[in-house]
Amino acid sequence: MASSTVLIPPRHYLNDGYGIASWLLTRDHKRIALLYLATVTLFFFVGGAMAVMIRLDLATPAGDLVTDETYNKLFTMHGVLMVFFFLIPAIPAVLGNFLVPIMIGAKDLAFPKLNLFSWYIYVAGGLFTLYALVTGGVDTGWTFYTPFSTVSSTTNVIPTALGIFITGFSSILTGLNFIVTIHRMRAPGLTWFRMPLFLWSTYATSLINVLGTPVIAITLLLVAAERVFHFGFFDPRLGGDPVLFQHLFWFYSHPAVYIMVLPAMGVVSELVAAGCRKPVFGYPFVAFASLAIAVLGFLVWGHHMFVAGESVYSALIFSMLSFLVAIPSAVKVFNWTATMYKGAVSWETPMLYAYGFIGLFTIGGLTGLFLAAVGLDVHVTDTYFIVAHFHYIMVGGTIMGYLGGLHYWWPKISGRLYNEGLAKLSAGIIFIGFNLTFFPQFVLGYMGMPRRYHAYPPDFQVLNVLSSAGASILGVGYLIPMVYLMWSLRYGRLAGSNPWGAVGLEWTTTSPPPTENFTETPVVTWEAYDYHAPAEGHVA
Amino acid sequence: MSPEAAHHPPVQGLAHQFDSLEQQTEATTLGMWVFLVTEVLFFGGLFMVYTVYRTWYPDAFAAASHTLDITLGTINTAVLITSSLTMALAVHSAQLGQRKLIMIFLLATMALGGVFLGIKGVEYYSKFVEHHVPGPSFHFEEPQFAAHAQIFFSLYFLMTGLHALHMIIGFGIMLFMLGWTWKGGITADYYGPIEIAGLYWHFVDIVWIFLFPLLYLLGGRY
Amino acid sequence: MWTGTPLFPEAASTMAPRVDALYFFLLALAGFFSLLIAGLIVYYAVKFHRRTPDQVGAPIHGGMVLEVGWTVIPFLITMVIFVWGASVYYAMARPPDETLNIYVVGKQWMWKFQHLDGQREINELHVPVGRAVKLITTSEDVIHDFFVPAFRIKADVIPGRYVNIWFHATKPGRYRLFCAEYCGTRHSGMIGEVVVMDPSEYQAWLSGGTEEGSLASAGAKLFQDLACNTCHRADAQGRGPVLDGLFGKTVQLQSGQTVTVDEAYIRESILHPTAQVASGFQPIMPTFQGIVSEEQLLELVEYVKSLKAPAQGQGQTR
């Protein structure tokens, strides 16, 4: 199944033009994906540095490492950078951009110039936000609750809000590009139900991007406008309602968490299929579950506001819907697990990340049930229980999915293999560091430690120290891949077109692929993950 | 030359990622529809804020609405609807490949759009003179409604301002289409760009159709 | 049942055991499913570990029974949790009819408590054990949140409106109070204590050291000082509605809607008097926004609450 000759093709997308202009003015979706890779990695490490500071400060109860003001700015910026500049773009803009045209059998996305423009918008928004950071920071929390953000905070709220506003258009345009590409540019024979599940997840994510992001855009614009012009939409002294902001904010920000996790789920489907060399169990159910998550995800925003003054009846409706949105995620977890039954199960690094995702996402998702139960949410909301819950999903889920995908497609992207031993070691360090960081936070939360607290009662210290210790381990775990992945670019073994022996259009072309992806447009006559009757031209 | 370039000779106006002009037109049209959906959500946030405050303060909103010039608003509505007509005629001319007519209708659309913006400017100026612009110099004649009327005017300026911004962007698009048509890039076989420009312009028109009654026609008239 | 340990909070209210029961059920459920999935993954990874480089997995595409099963069963389980959580929440949202009321004003970065008989406290709240206590809360500036982990209660404290939160403490002791909605620089310093006392001790505490009169009597003085009594006369000859006995009644507004005269309505009528005018009256009352503080508003509200219905034969007919 693996090819016998391991060669790097003479002409491919990385050497098709040299010089900075060929990168900054490229229309090639693969190069744009790498532009995004560089920038999201940068934001990840800046946001990560803030996390290190936060956990260092929280190792002692008195909050004596940084001042209150600095601490408030640290957690705000950590949230803003991680949510808007890393988690939301990472998988779609890096892996999605690289893979969508190839998995579809096309030469590029529907709108390549728009794709490049999206990257520039992302960078512009990021620069605004970094400017806000270096000229004093912002201390409203990434949630910008009013009236604190509109009336009380004295920090750089407006540039931060504008930075996020600008970057939002990057998400919208990328989502638009993916939707049109998937609808209109599939290769001959590639019906919807023959598509790899990564494309279904990307499609569902793009729907959310396109429908939800405009709402946060207008909401942040309103915050900025209120700060400048004192309109009073969210100021009770002028007849406004501060809770209205929360409805507008969470109407986007809840679906946003599905923007963050759905692509990772798509990656996991690919990793599990390739790692077990069999079709994902219940393919149509997994595909529809992605769509169900996207739709239901728009109906549950009020579960962030159970104690914020919404009516009892609204709370009950949002609670019920929040339980419903858990079901399709559970269906996916069961289907992935069932895929492993009688599989040819690999223990290579990408698959380890996939298994880690399934386990940690399950824990994170189950703790979501605790939160959907209103009577229990009253006690744990706004505490470290929530912090633990969303980090299990975002870090234990999304980031593990992202790293798994990065490792799996690294040979395709770079033409090289990375060091498997170091990769497995990092995956293990990350898994241990992650759980040590965040599991104690569930306990802390139920004990009553509120979130966004700079100092805390001394009897919470032991759990906080455990968490901070875990964070230092996790940080090391994230740094090691940077080293061996970069090293592999120059010194890694050549990968060949299909080092995993996997099935999928991307594995039929060279590593790295040519600029136009395929030498001939593929004609697809096989089902997805067809490991059992490989048709002509299907496996390299 | 790559093998697939040998399969289809270069078609004028066909971008490299597409296999045919038909696919290109379908893709760009779908792209514009998706974009318009995002615009609906974008304006939708403002309409939601409007809905909440109008439900809570109907009398203040009615009083504030009465101070808008309904004559100018109605003229503007007629102007904008007519501009949608000229835009539709531009698309029709494009379908028939009539280059000169396309340009005439595009220019007519822009001219009507300019009239709309001019009248809007007059209205904004009169609001400024009457001290109805939110901020430190805001003053409303009926003091019991003042605070909530300020919310109305905040929404008025935000919503019509955002709408006007979209019209100005529309001008840019029209100019671009004019240039494209002049250079002969629009034919009866390929007029997709004019069509999607038309979609955008009609959307801008529809937003105004909603804005007009919600802002100008509240509370019955005198 | 439980006293505080390093890993579990004290349970000191009637709601706490109910919340904890639901929590333990969910812990068991989550533990079961996490271990099940993790266990299966590890088991399958070992049992079906790829043995040769070219090995492929079995050609299994799916199974309808399993799909239906693992959709329906989680659905049923989640509905059970929903009902349970809803019933706990409903109890939290409906205070008993008889409560000891205390006013709470949150402001950056402190808690101010006003007992009805005039006692004021800052950051420390004394309450009796074994009685339902209702806190009527508001904020002076940004959104805060009143959170007592030992009671398992929490509610955002919002500027511009009153939010009620109630509890029934079951054990004397001192329990931590946190602000749980980020509110600026000293958010983590906005902490305090709820001191739950035996009834006799509470009485002793109450009677020691009330400098001013009760909230209602302070309100009565304000009512005169601000000349409210010139329009709101008990003999129905003023230009405003009679307030005696009005609290708790349903009145009709000019718009045709009806509204219950509760604390929020009284507060709204003082700050935005033309918003909800009673039927039959002109919208001529001036606003007192900016003239009265939140605490003065509480005093006026308590005063109006204290006004008894007029004797028979007098009414506010117009």
Using a CB-CB distance cutoff of 8 angstroms, which residues of chain A are in contact with residue B57? 239
Using a CB-CB distance cutoff of 8 angstroms, which residues of chain C are in contact with residue B57? 275
Packed helices A197-229 and B146-182: angle between N→C axes, nearest 10 degrees = 130
Q: Which residues contact B50 (CB under 8 A, 6 or more apart)?
A: B155, B159, B214
Contact at CB, B42 and A211, closer than 8 angstroms? no
Top-confidence range, A298-312, C201-215, C273-287: A298-312
Phi, psi of A379, deg, nearest 5: -75, -40
* pLDDT, position C309: 78
Question: What pLDDT tens digit does each residue of chain A (540 aa) get?
Answer: 444 455 788 889 999 989 999 999 999 999 999 999 999 999 999 999 999 999 999 999 998 899 999 999 999 999 999 999 999 999 999 999 999 999 999 999 999 999 999 999 999 999 999 999 999 999 999 999 999 999 999 999 999 999 999 999 999 999 999 999 999 999 999 999 999 999 999 999 999 999 999 999 999 999 999 999 888 899 998 889 999 999 999 999 999 999 999 999 999 999 999 999 999 999 999 999 999 999 999 999 999 999 999 999 999 999 999 999 999 999 999 999 999 999 999 999 999 999 999 999 999 999 999 999 999 999 999 999 999 999 999 999 999 999 999 999 999 999 999 999 999 999 999 999 999 999 999 999 999 999 999 999 999 999 999 999 999 999 999 999 999 999 999 999 999 999 999 999 999 999 999 999 998 899 999 899 999 876 554 544
Residue B25, domain member (yes or no)? yes
Using a CB-CB distance cutoff of 8 angstroms, which residues of chain B are in contact with residue C256? none
| Distance between A169 CA and the closest CA of chain B, angstroms | 10
Which two structure tokens, joined as six digits, stand for A478? 């994230």
Q: What span, in angstroms and rounded, lies between the C-alpha atoms of A181 and C137?
A: 53
Q: Which of C41, C62, C176 is nearest residue A340 as measured by Cβ atoms? A: C41
Domains and CATH numbers, chain A: 23-507 (1.20.210.10)
What pLDDT, in 10s, does the model give residues B2-11?
A: 444 445 556 7
pLDDT band at B137 (very low <50, low <70, confident <90, very high): confident
Contact at CB, C154 and A236, closer than 8 angstroms? no
Contact at CB, C188 and A454, closer than 8 angstroms? yes
Q: What span, in angstroms and rounded, lies between the C-alpha atoms of A197 and A188?
A: 18
Interface test with chain B among A13, A207, A238, by most B beta carbons within 10 Å: A238
Mean pLDDT of C11-15: 96
* pLDDT, position A127: 96
* pLDDT, position B145: 87
Could you tell me which chain B residue has the CA closest to the CA of A109?
B17
Residue B105, domain member (yes or no)? yes
Residue B84, domain member (yes or no)? yes
Q: Which amino acid is at A490?
A: R
Contact at CB, B57 and C274, closer than 8 angstroms? no
**What region does A448 belong to: left with phi over 0, alpha with psi -120 to 50, or beta?**
left
The answer to whether residue A190 neighbours chain B at the CB level (below 8 Å) is no
Q: Are B112 and B105 in contact (CB under 8 A)?
A: no
Q: Which amino acid is at B160?
A: T
Q: What span, in angstroms and rounded, lies between the C-alpha atoms of C150 and C164?
A: 18
The answer to whether residue A106 neighbours chain B at the CB level (below 8 Å) is yes
Residue B190, domain member (yes or no)? yes
Residue B162, domain member (yes or no)? yes
Contact at CB, A232 and B147, closer than 8 angstroms? yes
Q: What span, in angstroms and rounded, lies between the C-alpha atoms of C256 and A321?
A: 35
Q: Are B90 and B105 in contact (CB under 8 A)?
A: yes
Which of A251, A363, A235, A256 is closest to A304 using CA atoms? A251
**Would you say residue C314 has pLDDT above 80?**
no
Q: What span, in angstroms and rounded, lies between the C-alpha atoms of C259 and C269?
A: 12
Using a CB-CB distance cutoff of 8 angstroms, which residues of chain A are in contact with residue C176? 448, 457
Using a CB-CB distance cutoff of 8 angstroms, which residues of chain B are in contact with residue A225? 154, 158
**Would you say residue C164 has pLDDT above 90?**
yes
Element housing C32 (H / E): helix C15-47
The residue range of the domain holding B42 is: 20-216
pLDDT band at C84 (very low <50, low <70, confident <90, very high): very high
* pLDDT, position B143: 81
* pLDDT, position C237: 80
Residue B14, domain member (yes or no)? no
Residue B13, domain member (yes or no)? no
**Would you say residue C209 has pLDDT above 80?**
no
Using a CB-CB distance cutoff of 8 angstroms, which residues of chain C are in contact with residue A447? 7-9, 149
The CATH number of the domain where B60 resides is what? 1.20.120.80
Q: Which residues contact A331 (CB under 8 A, 6 or more apart)?
A: A282, A285, A286, A289, C67, C70, C71, C74
| Distance between C205 CA and the closest CA of chain A, angstroms | 27
Using a CB-CB distance cutoff of 8 angstroms, which residues of chain C are in contact with residue A274? none
Helices (H) and strands (E) in chain C, counts: 6, 12
Residue B3, domain member (yes or no)? no
Strands C132-139, C100-107: pairing is parallel
* pLDDT, position C171: 95
Q: Which of B27, B43, B150 is nearest residue A110 as measured by Cβ atoms? A: B27
Strand partners, C251: C259
**Would you say residue C1 has pLDDT above 70?**
no
Q: Is pLDDT larger for residue B187 or for residue B47?
A: B47
Q: What span, in angstroms and rounded, lies between the C-alpha atoms of B139 and A255?
A: 41
* pLDDT, position C294: 86
Q: Which of B37, B39, B57 is nearest residue A239 as measured by Cβ atoms? A: B57
Query: How many independent structural domains does chain B possess?
Result: 1
Residue C313 CB-half CA count within 13 A: 1
Strand partners, A343: none
Sign (positive or negative) of CA dihedral C250, C252, C258, C260: negative
Share of chain B above pLDDT 70, in %: 95
pTM of the model: 0.92
Q: What span, in angstroms and rounded, lies between the C-alpha atoms of B201 and C102?
A: 59
Which of A345, B41, B174, B165 is closest to C43 using CA atoms? A345
Q: Which of B26, B42, B147 is nearest residue A239 as measured by Cβ atoms? A: B147
